[in-house]
Amino acid sequence: MPLIRAGTLVLDGQVRRPGWLETAGGRILGCGAGAPPRPPDTDLPDSVVVPGFVDMHVHGGGGASYPEAVADAAAFHLRHGTTTTMASLVTAAPAELIAGVRALAAAARRGTVAGIHLEGPWLSAARCGAHDRTLMRDPGPAEIDAVLDAGGGAIKMVTLAPERPGCDQAIRRLRDAGVVVAVGHSDATYEQTRRAIGLGATVGTHLFNAMPPLHHREPGPALALLADPGVTVELIADGVHLHPAVVDAVIRAAGPERVAVVTDAVAAAGCDDGTFRLGAMPVEVVAGVARVRGTDTIAGSTATMDRLFRAVAERCGLAEAVQVTAATPARALGLRGVGSLRPGHDADLVVLDRDLRVTAVMRRGEWTAA
């Protein structure tokens, strides 16, 4: 039963200096503040130990994309501290969508990823972002049933635009299937968004991005999502998608318990500038910023969760950074046993140096190469 002591641990949302944690069988057996009950097997006096990151919105990384190279993309983000990955699929034609869902469902059964997030195809062409607008469509019952069947329970979240015809029924069907419904890539009004929330939508996909800007006479989806206490809002805190002051303001307004920081990373994360793909769309990365080739449209990010963790921790504090990168996304997705360091949870943790850079990662009690 390995025992770890660290100069700083964030245990169940509380910063402890020092602290200890004991693992057995891939789970946390016990943890606490102060001196450990016996001499530690691993002593990390100059390190910060936090829960493994939970990324609920990521398309790829390290040159690999979902669903084509599931293991490679997940392994890349694991090295950066993401121990729980929700693999995201972009808008695709029906047959390609089903094939992608089946591939990721198999990966979920293997434990490579925690599940699937469908970001499309039931989105707004007016707010398509880096999705192929020609493939966007209304959420027909037959296609929803086919996708759910292909997923075999692995689909955990679906982003849709509630103004599309058929979305009321789609939200009900997805919620009945235990799927988290998110509002995003939407041109919905404030009232349409409130209706979707009333029907069961509980997440705002990358708040402010791919939706109308907040206006004092037409507040749109952003305010409806931000103001509702039952909604978790995603933020891409990479300094490109949102100004850091906006990230700070949302965390203050909603509270870290309602904010999930996500990478929305594409295959280009961790790579040099160059040309990549996001689904059917060609993506060009210049100075670390991914855009649809030949346009100014941002196409996901090149960020990793450790980088976003540092950005939030430096501005908002260590406990808050843990909340928005682990505990909140785990809760929003209904994932049990991950997102915090407490007895009975998976032994998923990230070891950081004094500059909050990753030095080691443990997943289910096993150390991995950082």
DSSP state letters, 249-297:
HHHHHH-GGGEEE---B-TTTTS-SEEEEETTEEEEEETTEEEETTSS-
How is residue 279 written in tokens? 């689904």
- d(Cα 291, Cα 115) in Å, to the nearest integer? 26
- Give catalytic status of residue 138 as yes or no: no
Please say whether the dihedral angle defined by the alpha carbons of residues 103, 109, 111 and 113, taken in this order, is positive or negative: positive
How is residue 115 written in tokens? 């599940």
CB distance 91 to 299 below 8 Å: no
Catalytic residue among 264, 306, 346, 348: 264
Q: Which residue do the tokens 């910023």 mark?
A: 289
CB distance 89 to 108 below 8 Å: no
| C-alpha distances in Å from residue 57, one per residue of 178, 233, 256 | 18, 12, 17
- d(Cα 156, Cα 77) in Å, to the nearest integer? 19
HEC readout, 125-163: HHHCCCCCHHHCCCCCHHHHHHHHHHHCCCEEEEEECCC
Summary count for the chain: helices (H), strands (E): 10, 21
- Containing 356, the helix (H) or strand (E) segment is none
Q: What are phi and psi of 74, to 5 degrees?
A: -65, -40
Residues 6+ apart with CB under 8 A from 54: 82, 83, 84, 86, 114, 325, 326, 329, 330, 333, 335, 338, 339
CB atoms closer than 10 angstroms to residue 314 = 12
Q: Which residue do the tokens 């950081």 mark?
A: 352
Burial class (CB in 10 A: 0-12, 13-18, 19+), 204: buried
Question: Which amino acids are annotated catalytic?
Answer: 264
